[in-house]
Structure 1
Amino acid sequence: MKHLNFETLSEAMNNLTQRGYTDNFVANDTCIKALYAKKEYQPSDLTIDETYRFEGITNPSDQSELFAISTKDGIKGTLSMSYGANHSQNTELIKQIK
């Protein structure tokens, strides 16, 4: 798995977008959705290519994680997850991705 060093979440997202990770994924109760492609996937249909973790500047417990994901049918995108109290991603689905 490739791993580069980025100072900020937005810097990592911009770099990944330039490298073809143009869709946005969200993990809901039953599946992981590619928002632009308007497709739904199960974790077995996805691969995590890269992972980046960021801590908040003023609060180290304010963490977020960015996943670069590719699908079996060629879609590439990112999934961003905050570790604060208000994240809405289904972490159990995300943990099932290879």
Structure 2
Amino acid sequence: MTTLSETLATLKKQGYTADFNLAATHLSCTGNAIRLFPDDFVVDQHFRFEGPSDPADEAVVYAISSARFNLKGTLVNGYGPSSDALADEMIKALRERPA
């Protein structure tokens, strides 16, 4: 997988169908009222993408699962200077760890 769109398509085929949005203290799920706090999910995989010449093109894709909500999805965020400000708990939770 070499592009962001290829990675997202592959993850969707693997069951990562939810679209997560990032808040300072939790993840919200597009299309429903579910909020995932750090203890509610794990990062199964992550993929980093760098633009050829512009640091603003950097992004990271997280493949996230929640056993509590029986939910799998992806989160796309800027990387480096374009990343969102997060609480320490969210930063720790977004590190890949065993389920």
| Band the TM-score falls in, shorter-chain normalisation | 0.7 to 0.9
Deviation at 1:15, TM superposition (A): 0.3
Q: State the match for 1:15 in structure 2.
A: 10
TM-score, scaled relative to structure 2: 0.78
Residue-pair matches, total: 93
| Number of the residue aligned with 2:76 | 80
Deviation at 1:75, TM superposition (A): 0.5
**Alpha carbon RMSD of aligned pairs, Å?**
2.2
- CA deviation after TM superposition for structure 1 residue 84, in Å: 6.2
Normalized per residue, which structure has more helix? 2
Listed as ranges, the gaps of 5+ residues in structure 2 are: none
TM-score, normalised relative to structure 1? 0.78
Matches within 5 A, 1:1-98: 6-60=1-55, 62-72=57-67, 73-83=69-79, 86-88=82-84, 90=86, 92-97=88-93, 98=97
